[in-house]
Every structure is written in C-alpha cells, then in structure tokens.
C-alpha cells in the first residue's frame, strides 16, 4: 500500500495546498485582489507623507530626504507583523471545514497563511521601492537582504501572537476583540513616525520592550546607509522571538483539541 510520506512531507504538501487555496481566494476570484494588497499600504504611506510634508514645511524627515521612504521603511515591517497576526485568525475560521480531515492539522493552516502573507508583503515592499526608484530616482535599499530579514522577524512574531490569540480565543470568545482594542497603540509606538534615538531616554527605556520598534529600527538600518541604530538590541529581539514562538507552538499543541471543537 502506498504511504502518504513522512509527517514532514505531509506537512509540506498541506502547507503548499493551503497556500494555493488561499491565493485563489484572495487573488484569482477578485481581479483587484493583489492590486488592493499593494494599494492599501501605498495609500497609508502617501497620506502620512503628504500630511507631514505639508504640515512641517521646510523640515526634512528624521532619515533621508523623502517622507515617503521614511514612512515606508517604518510602515511596511509593522504591516507585516499586523497582517500575519490577522491572517492566522482568518485562516482558523476560513479553513475550519478542512480541519475535519485527520491529515490536516491547524498548524498547517497557520503556517500556510503566514508564509503567503509574508511573501505578499515582501513583494509589496519591492514594488513600492522599485516604483519609487523608477519615478523619482534613488529609493533602493542600501542592503536588500538586511531590509528583508527584519520582515521575517516581524512575521514570526505576528505568527506567534496570531496562534496565541486563536488558542486563547477558543476558550475565551472575547479575547480577539480585547486584543484588537489593546494593541491599537502599537501603531504609534512602533517607530513608524520616529526613530528611537529622537525620544527622551526615559521613553526609550519603556519602549525598549516593544519588539516591533527594534524591527523598525533594524529595517531602517538596512535601508538607509547613513543610519546605525544604537537602540536596536538583537539579543533582546532574538530572545523575544524565540520565546514567543516556543510558547505559541506549545500552546497550539496543548490546546489543539479545544481549538478543533470550539473554533
């Protein structure tokens, strides 16, 4: 009798199949699906750039000479974190019927959504920076690799928090709504509008525990050749990311029965 392969092979096939399913749902059924994925962050970045450039006439951004590039280098890693977190929650609901098949595990759905969302955000980032380069000149990262790596960290943290939310939400139905409300300040304290070194030391000490701010600083360090962040602490960021991932995976494995029955 032909076997389905090793557990890891089954996992990879499930992830790939679920990714293709999500791609058809997001991009094929809606002709503007991918265009919207690009235009949503572009619209936000353009609005912020216009607001600050007109409100602060004669003042340059904290880094570089373009408000568009400054806000893009802060908005995109934050968006990667937020979009992956949201994608995990949507996948838990959207792929619920598939989880009745014993061969498909919830973690397969979570990983598929996270990989697709991260890939989409990297493509969106590339489109934005290349388009700016074609239109205005300049605008390309000093180190493309060191601009991408922080995205991976943002996605891993988003994945961990997304899985955590699904697990807790399976036993505490109001949790996801509470999380959305309490996490809204993240938009303002994750470095989209500022670089950490421009803040008073007392504020820096508080925001030090926000891993997304470290990711934003890291992204800008890879993007702007003249910027070297003294705030960025890779030891803390690595420790937080690994710990969050471990807790999320342990919680997912422990609470899988509750997720399957109460989701």
Helix 106-136 × helix 67-94 angle, to 10°: 160
If you average pLDDT over every residue of the chain, what do you get?
A: 85
What DSSP string runs through 69-138?
HHHHHHHHHHHHHHHHHHHHHHHHHHTTGGGGSTT--HHHHHHHHHHHHHHHHHHHHHHHHHHHHHHHS-
pLDDT at residue 34 tops 70 = no
Residue with tokens 């304290």: 189
| Most confident region among 7-11, 108-112, 158-162 by mean pLDDT | 158-162
Q: Is the pTM of this model over 0.85?
A: yes
Residue 42 resides in a domain: yes
Domains: count for the chain: 1
> Is 1 part of any domain?
no
Q: Please check whether residue 100 lies inside any domain of the structure.
A: yes
pLDDT at 176: 85
- Give the other-Cβ count within 10 Å of 235's Cβ: 7
CB 104 within 8 A of CB 98: yes
- Reported as a pLDDT band with limits 50, 70 and 90, residue 1 is very low
Judge whether residue 130 has pLDDT over 90: no
Integer-rounded Cα radius of gyration of the chain: 20
Q: Where in the sequence is the domain holding 195, given as residue range(s)?
A: 7-262
Q: How far is CA 258 from CA 99, 112, 132, 179, 252, in A?
A: 13, 21, 47, 20, 10
Domain annotation covers residue 39: yes
Q: What is the pLDDT of residues 175-215, one digit of tens each?
A: 888 998 999 999 999 999 999 999 999 999 999 999 999 99
Asked whether residue 2 is assigned to any structural domain, the reply reads: no
Write the pLDDT tens digit of every residue in 73-86.
999 999 999 999 99
148 vs 29, residue with greater confidence = 148
């Amino acid at each position: 009798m032909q076997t389905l392969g090793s557990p890891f092979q089954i996992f990879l096939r499930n992830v790939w199949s679920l990714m293709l399913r999500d791609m058809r749902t997001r991009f094929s059924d809606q002709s503007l699906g991918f265009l919207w994925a690009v235009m949503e962050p572009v619209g936000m970045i353009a609005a912020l750039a216009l607001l600050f450039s007109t409100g602060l006439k004669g003042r340059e951004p904290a880094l570089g000479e373009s408000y568009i590039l400054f806000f893009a280098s802060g908005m995109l890693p934050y968006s990667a974190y937020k979009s992956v977190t949201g994608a995990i929650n949507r996948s838990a609901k959207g792929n619920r019927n598939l989880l009745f098949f014993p061969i498909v595990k919830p973690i397969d759905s979570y990983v598929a959504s996270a990989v697709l969302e991260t890939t989409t955000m990297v493509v969106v980032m590339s489109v934005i920076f290349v388009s700016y380069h074609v239109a205005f000149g300049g605008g390309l990262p000093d180190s493309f690799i060191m601009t991408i790596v922080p995205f991976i960290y943002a996605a891993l943290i988003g994945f961990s928090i997304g899985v955590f939310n699904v697990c807790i939400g399976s036993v505490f139905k109001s949790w996801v709504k509470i999380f959305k409300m309490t996490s809204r300040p993240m938009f303002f304290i994750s470095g989209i509008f500022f670089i950490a070194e421009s803040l008073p030391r007392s504020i820096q000490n508080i925001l030090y525990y926000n891993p997304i701010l470290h990711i934003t600083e890291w992204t800008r360090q890879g993007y702007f050749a003249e910027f070297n962040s003294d705030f960025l602490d890779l030891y803390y960021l690595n420790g937080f990311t690994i710990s969050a991932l471990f807790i999320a995976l342990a919680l997912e494995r422990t609470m899988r029965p509750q997720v399957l029955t109460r989701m």
